[in-house]
Chains A and B, each alone.
Chain A
Amino acid sequence: PVMAAAQAEAGGERSVMAGPAGPAMDDVGPVGPAVGELRAAGPAVGDSDGAAGAAMVAEEPPAPPPLPGLRLVQQGAEAHVYRGLFLGRAAVAKLRVPKRYRHPALEERLSRRRMAQEARSLLRCRRAGIPAPVVYFVDYVTNSIFLEDIVDSITVQDHIYSVQKSGNDASGLQKLAEKMGELLARMHDEDIIHGDLTTANLLLRPPTEKLDLVLIDFGLSFISGLPEDKGVDLYVLEKAFISTHPDTETMFQALLKAYAATSKKSGPVIKKLDEVRLRGRKRSMIG
């Protein structure tokens, strides 16, 4: 069933070994789990697959915040996401899930760093005119963040599902892809790496036809000017696209074309993207 208006936290859990800030890595391993996680958290609510995997150690979920009209939106591996009214406004509360299998000192540091990165990236986006939710409150004790809720929005993921299901207006999807490409180009030009680009992390404000996009979920984001990091960012999106949405190769091509047209620094990035594609999983590296 299509999940409407959900800001899905499909937080792909990168292995701790990979380094908390997630800079460019030689082995594109972490892309794999991130994509796998996406499939599980995609159309289905809840995280049964993830929970089963992490069930080695009992994970105590964080207590829900006492917000009026509280609804649990998504139980990701990284955080529980709630919707409710905060100080009179529709808000999203992301409460990080503590990982008991980690050493407490590391857990604390990692949690704090992720949250700080998210807040920092959100502010940086806004300053540059890149649409992202407003930050209302950051709680460093429980490592939770309260953000603007984009009311009545729909994820690009759900939008593509519904358009493909209804079978009409594929040209609208091409325009959407172009807008996505433009938006990502602007984001990368600010040296902001999203870190978890999926169609579930892109929202469309109502009315959907306006193609008013909003980027969300910057929990794995970081700042980098390296074409490699930007290339990997796009690669993550490409894998997410192909795995979640069949027959969208032309869409992604349109996205890349718009990206290249918008960003002056796109040349090296696309080049790196091609390189990363060759590196990917199950690729023969003979020779």
Chain B
Amino acid sequence: MERTHRLELFPDRSVTLLLFQHVKNAAALRKKAMEGSIDGALINPTMIIDPFQILVAANKAVHLQKIGKMKTRTLNAEIIFSLSPSNNISDAFKKFGISDSDTSVLIVLVVDGDKTVNLADIASQVEGQQVSLDELPQLTDTAKVKKMYKVTPQEEKIGTLLDSVVCRMSTKDVL
């Protein structure tokens, strides 16, 4: 149900994604994440088009962590920040993190190779139903994503929305 991908460039890390629907305790979860009792990034799935988007963000975050150049204070925060097209950290959290009224949550865990993560433990803390990542496209708010990333109409002709989003994420700090 969940999906795990090993980061090729950082073989000691793998990224696991868990998706939950009909979530009732978003506020409590948010608090737990901030306190650190859930060691994962809690993301608003309506802003996510495809798991690849998360992988690109996680890859960048891990890279920056390894070279000590993160803009935020934790890896999980950096993942959320990497998703955002803006350089404003609190804005990134507002748009890509979860808010108290959310009913769906995407949890991203970056794990050190040999450490085992108890996924059941994390899932049990969510008052909601875990669903397969295949359900993600149904949750995506494409209009909101297009607006957030300022995708141009010409761009839509030469590639997918995911292409536009990923390109902006990866070149954010170049410009």
Contact = CB atoms under 8 A, between A and B. Distances in A.
Interface of A: 65-68, 84-89, 116, 119-120, 122-123, 126-131, 134-139, 141, 148
B120 interface: no
A135 B167 contact: yes
Interface residues of B, number: 28
Interface string B1-19: 0000101110100000000
Contacts, number: 81
Interface string B66-80: 010000000000000
A88 B171 contact: no
B132 interface: no
Main secondary structure of the interface of A (DSSP, over half): mixed
B174 A65 contact: no
Contacts of B163: 126, 134, 148
B171 A135 contact: yes
Contacts of A116: 174
A119 B171 CA distance: 6
Interface stretch (B56-64, B123-131, B139-147): B56-64
Contacts of A130: 158
Contacts of A137: 9, 56, 59-60, 63, 170
Contacts of B52: 87-89
Contacts of A136: 56, 166, 170
Given A66-B9, A68-B8, A123-B175, A128 B170 contact: no
A120 B155 contact: no
A141 B67 contact: yes
B170 to A, nearest CB: 5
Contacts of A148: 163
Interface in B132-175: 152-155, 157-159, 163-164, 166-168, 170-171, 174-175
B152 A129 contact: yes
Contact of A123 (B5, B67, B159, B171): B171
The 8 closest A-B pairs by CB, nearest first: A129-B154, A87-B55, A119-B174, A134-B163, A135-B170, A123-B171, A131-B158, A119-B171
B151 to A, nearest CB: 9
Contact of B155 (A86, A122, A127): A127
A123 B164 CA distance: 9
A138 B170 contact: yes
Contact of A88 (B55, B152, B168, B175): B55
Interface in B70-119: none
A148 B170 CA distance: 12
Residue among B5, B67, B155, B171 with max Cβ neighbours from chain A (10 Å)? B171
Contacts of A131: 158-159
B8 A138 contact: no
Given A134-B163, A135-B166, 10 more contacts: A67-B9, A87-B5, A123-B171, A128-B152, A128-B154, A129-B154, A129-B158, A131-B158, A131-B159, A136-B170
